């Protein structure tokens, strides 16, 4: 790992989880373009190393990386301790790593759901709690938690995933209120379908026109999100089409929403 760092006290770091691919990688590129120093986290070392090297040389920033599985209970603490040992000042945390899923609830194992809940919720909560005291040391600080449009309503055939993302939205809004008199602004991103890994691409394809009209590239999503994140927006819904869906859910009685979502996601 590259640890020949300059004095960083005036150039704090943004920590991004799930930075080796997809939306997290797009966040890393966008932040590097804005000259933000980066701590990149994911399981796959070679990808992270390549990305860190390329961002450092292209944008003249500092970028370090930490490879670990955030679905392991002790990883958030190890990551925090590593950052403190390396004297990396952190003023922004982007909790992006997450795993998605589609299919009947009964067809996946409980072990799979446990890993999903560990990654999507517990690691995010642990990292947030560990890094708040560090972020508070800076005059401004931001936390971005990546939810989903599935944060906004129950989604049959994505039962557990949607529930984890509802948790992320609720946690983010409540924590933002608790921290309102501090230097930290908490935001939650609720993206719709975004072209990233092969499974997501297959799901977008299978959903036909309904999925495709809401689809965005990860680069466009990152550009829209980072701009709003830096202004401290509470809930970031990146496209007008998704904002329309959110508005519609407010007018449809709660009892009908699972049935409508079930029809849309059955395939």
Ligand X SMILES: NC(=O)c1ccc[n+]([C@@H]2O[C@H](COP(=O)([O-])OP(=O)(O)OC[C@H]3O[C@@H](n4cnc5c(N)ncnc54)[C@H](OP(=O)(O)O)[C@@H]3O)[C@@H](O)[C@H]2O)c1
Residue 195 or 260 having the CB closest to ligand X: 195
Nearer to ligand X by C-beta: 70 or 237?
70
165 catalytically annotated: yes
* Closer of 37 and 148 to ligand X (Cβ): 148
Q: Which of 2-10, 31-39, 51-59, 94-102 is the region at the interface with ligand X (rule: CB under 6 A)?
A: 94-102
The answer to whether 162 contacts ligand X (rule: CB under 6 A) is no
Q: Which of residues 187-246 bind ligand X (CB under 6 A)?
A: 191, 193-194, 196-197, 200
Catalytic-residue membership of 161: yes
- Window 24-53: contact mask with ligand X (x via CB under 6 A): x-----------------xxx--x------
Cβ 99 to ligand X shortest distance, Å: 6
If one asks whether residue 163 binds ligand X (CB under 6 A), the answer comes out as no
Compute the least distance from the CB of residue 205 to ligand X, in Å. Answer: 12
Answer yes or no: are the C-beta atoms of 150 and 101 closer than 8 Å. Answer: no
Q: Which of 14, 96, 172, 187 binds ligand X (CB under 6 A)?
A: 96
Q: What's the half-sphere exposure (Cβ side, CA atoms, 13 Å) at 27?
A: 30
From candidates 3, 35, 57, 69, binder to ligand X by CB under 6 A: 69
> If binding is defined by CB under 6 A, does position 100 make contact with ligand X?
yes
Binding site for ligand X (CB under 6 A): 18-24, 42-44, 47, 69-71, 96-100, 119, 146, 148, 191, 193-194, 196-197, 200
The residues annotated as belonging to the active site are 161, 165
């Amino acid at each position: 790992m590259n640890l020949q760092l300059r004095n960083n006290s005036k150039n704090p770091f943004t920590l991004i989880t799930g930075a080796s691919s997809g939306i997290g990688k797009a966040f890393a590129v966008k932040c590097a373009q804005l000259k933000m120093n980066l701590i990149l986290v994911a399981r796959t070392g070679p990808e992270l190393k390549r990305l860190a090297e390329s961002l450092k040389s292209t944008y003249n920033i500092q970028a370090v990386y930490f490879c670990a599985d955030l679905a392991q209970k002790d990883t958030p603490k190890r990551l925090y301790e590593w950052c403190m040992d390396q004297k990396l000042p952190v003023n922004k945390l982007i909790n992006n790593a997450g795993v998605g899923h589609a299919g009947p609830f009964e067809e996946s194992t409980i072990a799979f759901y446990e890993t999903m809940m560990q990654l999507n919720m517990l690691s995010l909560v642990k990292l947030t709690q560990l890094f708040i005291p560090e972020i508070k040391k800076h005059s401004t600080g931001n936390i971005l938690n990546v939810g989903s449009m599935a944060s906004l309503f129950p989604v049959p055939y994505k039962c557990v995933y949607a529930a984890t993302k509802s948790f992320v939205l609720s946690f983010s809004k409540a924590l933002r209120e608790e921290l309102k008199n501090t230097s930290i602004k908490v935001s939650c991103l609720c993206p719709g379908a975004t072209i990233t890994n092969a499974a997501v691409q297959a799901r977008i394809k299978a959903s036909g026109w309904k999925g495709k009209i809401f689809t965005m590239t990860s680069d466009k999503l990152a550009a829209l999100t980072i701009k709003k994140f830096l202004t401290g927006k509470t809930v970031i819904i990146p496209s007008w089409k998704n904002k329309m869906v959110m508005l519609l859910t407010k007018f449809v009685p709660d009892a009908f929403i699972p049935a409508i979502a079930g029809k849309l996601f059955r395939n």
